[in-house]
Amino acid sequence: MEDEAPPTRHVSRGRTFVYLLPCRHEDILKVGYSRDPLERFRTLHRRFFEFFDLDRGLLIDTERLREARQVERLFITTFAAQRAPAPLVVRQAAAGHTEWFRGIAPEAEALAHRLRDEQGYTLHAPLGTWLRTRLDERAEALFGWSARMLDALEYAYFNAPAMAASSRGAAALRDALDTCAALGMDLSALVPAQVLDWYRSADYFGSR
């Protein structure tokens, strides 16, 4: 389930994705829907690309929010007996209460393929391929954002070192670059050279 706005005549329209997201080290799977799965995954776990197995995850592509809700409900009711609590490392506010299941991955994948065949939905699997495409589409924004983040980190390092040592900005930038690296993307083509140097250095500012 997603924290989407209540459906209106306009909100209910538009592409919405139902996702099946298996944990990497546990036989637990998250079902949900979102207009922007990449951002949704980040709310579940800041290192979602490590915590979830993207090679086994998939998306069901629907044209309307109403359809996505119906598809999600089908998974929830079909596998109601296999519900499981959300992993403790997932933020409680983002986890949901009824969309985690244990031991259903093969059956859930088979149901997704059946919906594709019977209802004509597009299936994106493996999930990592779809995520790489989305990140490629945002490459220009990443280039500029990463440069601005590095400028802010440099200012903090030399003007507020205590703040820089525990900077959320540094964690956010590293997580973004780690996401791209985990998906096999060429960071040298995505961010400025200075950002890449910072990413690869243990003491970038101190070594300048």
**87 with 172, same domain?**
no
**88 with 170, same domain?**
no
Out of 133, 157, 181, a domain closes at: 133
**80 with 113, same domain?**
yes
Distance CA(35)–CA(61), nearest Å, equals 10
**126 with 147, same domain?**
no
**150 with 84, same domain?**
no
pLDDT mean values, one per 10 residues, the chain (208 residues): 47 83 95 95 93 96 96 97 90 68 97 96 95 94 96 87 70 95 96 96 74
**123 with 156, same domain?**
no
Distance CA(177)–CA(203), nearest Å, equals 17
Cis bond leading into 126, ω under 30°?
yes
Structure tokens at 7: 């459906």
In angstroms, the first-to-last Cα distance of the chain is 48
185, part of any domain: yes
pLDDT at 207: 58
pLDDT at 5: 42
**161 with 96, same domain?**
no
Structure tokens at 135: 């990140």
**62 with 103, same domain?**
yes
pLDDT at 7: 46
DSSP H or E segment with residue 199 = helix 193-200
Domain span including residue 65: 13-133
**58 with 97, same domain?**
yes
Out of 133, 149, 178, a domain closes at: 133
pLDDT at 160: 77
64, part of any domain: yes
169, part of any domain: yes
Number of domains in the chain: 2
Out of 133, 149, 181, a domain closes at: 133
pLDDT at 2: 52
pLDDT at 157: 85
Sign, CA dihedral 77-113-62-96, equals positive
Q: Which long-range contacts (CB under 8 A, 24 or more apart) does 79-84 make?
A: 79/104, 79/107, 79/108, 84/28
3, part of any domain: no
pLDDT at 127: 95
**179 with 123, same domain?**
no
195: buried, middle or exposed (CB in 10 Å: 19+, 13-18, 0-12)? Answer: buried
7, part of any domain: no
DSSP H or E segment with residue 118 = helix 105-119
